[in-house]
């Protein structure tokens, strides 16, 4: 603990995961529809591109969104 702030009282639960999935799906699904319409890749190639890309974006954004979510909880004084 670097700043002596206790995070045990702040319960983020699944909020950051829902926000991350919502944001990623909002932007990546239209991208894949356009990719499919323009290039018509075979299903295997489309999955080889889309699944790792989606997973990488989600795993990259999740810590940032969780940090922002926890900061919002801390700022609002919500302990539940």
User: What residues does each domain of the chain span?
Assistant: 15-76
pLDDT of residue 57: 97
| Statement: the pTM of the whole predicted model exceeds 0.85 | no
- Determine which of 5-9, 27-31, 46-50 has the lowest per-residue pLDDT on average: 5-9
Cα-only R_g, the chain: 17
- Work out the mean pLDDT of the chain and round it to a whole number: 90
In this prediction, residue 3 has a pLDDT band, given cuts at 50, 70 and 90, of confident
- Choice between 2 and 65, residue whose per-residue pLDDT is larger: 65
pLDDT exceeds cutoff 60 at 20: yes
């Amino acid at each position: 603990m670097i700043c002596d702030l206790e995070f045990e009282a702040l319960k983020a639960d699944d909020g950051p995961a829902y926000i991350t999935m919502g944001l990623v799906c909002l932007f990546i699904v239209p991208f894949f529809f356009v990719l499919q319409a323009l290039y018509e890749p075979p299903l295997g190639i489309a999955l080889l591109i889309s699944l790792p890309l989606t997973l990488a974006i989600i795993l990259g954004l999740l810590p940032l969104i969780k940090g922002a979510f926890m900061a919002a909880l801390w700022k609002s004084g919500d302990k539940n």
